[in-house]
C-alpha cells in the first residue's frame, strides 16, 4: 500500500513535494525523473522553480523524461506536453538540455521513437522517481483503462474522456485533440525506484479512492501503483475526501 500524505491545500501539498524533491536532488544529484503534464503538476513545478531560484534545488546533473505526448505534435508545438514542461519547469531550472528528454509525437517512425526512448531510459540507469498524475478514469501517463496494459513506452489510442479532459489545450475543440498518444508504459513507471502520485481537487476524490483502496486492475491503471514498494501519494484535503 502506498504511503499517503494529505495536506490541507494544493499549495501546501505542492510545497511539501517540492521540498522532498529538492532534498532528493541534494542526496542524489544525478536523479532521473519522469515528469507528467496536465494541470496537476503545475503548482509543484512553480514550487520547484522557486526553490531553484532560492538556491535550494540544483538540477545541474539531473535527467528528466516526459511521461507522455500527443501523437502528431512536434516538441515545438505550443499545445505539446513538451512545451508545457518547458514553459512551467525546464526553462526555469538549470537542467542540462542534453539530459532533458521528451517523446517526439511527430516522429515519422513512432516505433523507432518509442524504442529509442526506452534505450535512453536504460542508458541513464532507469527512473529514480516517476512523478505522475491521475486521470479521472484512472489513467497514469496515457496508460488508459484496458483489459491489457503495455509494459513499455508505446502508442495508445486515447479514450474519449481523456481527449475531452485535454480539450482546453486545443481551444476547447474536442475534434482537434489527437486520437493517439505516446506514453511510457506502466512497467516503465513501476520500475522506477520511487513513484510520487499527485492528485488535487474534489473531482479526483472518487478515482483516488478507487485506485488506492479498490482492487488492483488494469481497468484502473493507477491501482497498479499499490504494487510498488516505494510509492508516495500526495493529496490535498479535497482529493482525499473519498
Ligand atoms: C493527462 C495526462 C496525464 C495526467 C492526467 C491528469 O491527460 N496524460 O499525464 O497526469 O491526464 O491530468 P490533470 O492533471 O490535468 O488532471
Which residues neighbour 119 within 8 Å (Cβ) at sequence distance 6 or greater? none
Task: Judge if the beta carbon of residue 68 lies within 6 A of ligand 1.
Answer: yes
Q: What is the pTM of this model?
A: 0.97
Q: Is the CB of 81 under 6 A from ligand 1?
A: no
Within the chain, which residues score under 50 in pLDDT? none
What local confidence, expressed as pLDDT, does residue 182 receive? 98
- Strand-pair category, 154-157 with 180-183: antiparallel
- Mutate which of 69, 135, 160, 162 for ligand 1? The one with the most ligand atoms within 8 Å of its CB, which is 135
Residue 63 sits at the vertex; the CA angle it makes with 57 and 64, to the nearest 5 degrees, is 95
pLDDT (0 to 100) of residue 1? 80
Ligand 1 atom closest to residue 166's alpha carbon, by position in its atom list: 7
Within a 13 Å sphere around the CA of 115, how many CA atoms are in the beta-carbon half? 4
Q: What is the pLDDT of residues 41-75, one digit of tens each?
A: 999 999 999 999 999 999 999 999 999 999 999 99
Among 81, 84, 99, 83, smallest CA distance to 182 is for: 81
Closest CA to 77 of 55, 98, 107, 49: 107
How far apart, in whole angstroms, are the C-alpha atoms of residue 194 and residue 229?
8
* Structural contact between residues 74 and 106, judged by C-beta atoms closer than 8 angstroms: yes
Q: List pLDDT tens digits, range 144-179.
A: 999 999 999 999 999 999 999 999 999 999 999 999
Amino acid at each position: 500500500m502506498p504511503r499517503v500524505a494529505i495536506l490541507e491545500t494544493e499549495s501546501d501539498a505542492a510545497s511539501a513535494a517540492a521540498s522532498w524533491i529538492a532534498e532528493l536532488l541534494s542526496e542524489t544529484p544525478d536523479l532521473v525523473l519522469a515528469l507528467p503534464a496536465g494541470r496537476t503538476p503545475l503548482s509543484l513545478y512553480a514550487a520547484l522553480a522557486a526553490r531553484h531560484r532560492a538556491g535550494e534545488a540544483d538540477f545541474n546533473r539531473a535527467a528528466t523524461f516526459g511521461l507522455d505526448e500527443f501523437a502528431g505534435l512536434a516538441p515545438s508545438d505550443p499545445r505539446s506536453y513538451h512545451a508545457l514542461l518547458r514553459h512551467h519547469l525546464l526553462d526555469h531550472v538549470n537542467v542540462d538540455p542534453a539530459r532533458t528528454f521528451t517523446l517526439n509525437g511527430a516522429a515519422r517512425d513512432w516505433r523507432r521513437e518509442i524504442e529509442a526512448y526506452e534505450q535512453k531510459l536504460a542508458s541513464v540507469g532507469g527512473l529514480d522517481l516517476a512523478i505522475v498524475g491521475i486521470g479521472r478514469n484512472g489513467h497514469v501517463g496515457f496508460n488508459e483503462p484496458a483489459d491489457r496494459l503495455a509494459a513499455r513506452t508505446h502508442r495508445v489510442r486515447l479514450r474519449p474522456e481523456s481527449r475531452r479532459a485535454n480539450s482546453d489545450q486545443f481551444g476547447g475543440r474536442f475534434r482537434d485533440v489527437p486520437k493517439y498518444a505516446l506514453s511510457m508504459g506502466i512497467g516503465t513507471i513501476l520500475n522506477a525506484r520511487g513513484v510520487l502520485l499527485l492528485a488535487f481537487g474534489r473531482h479526483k476524490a472518487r478515482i483516488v479512492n478507487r485506485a488506492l483502496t479498490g482492487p488492483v486492475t488494469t481497468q484502473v491503471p493507477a491501482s497498479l501503483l499499490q504494487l510498488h514498494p516505494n510509492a508516495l501519494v500526495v493529496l490535498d484535503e479535497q482529493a482525499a475526501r473519498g
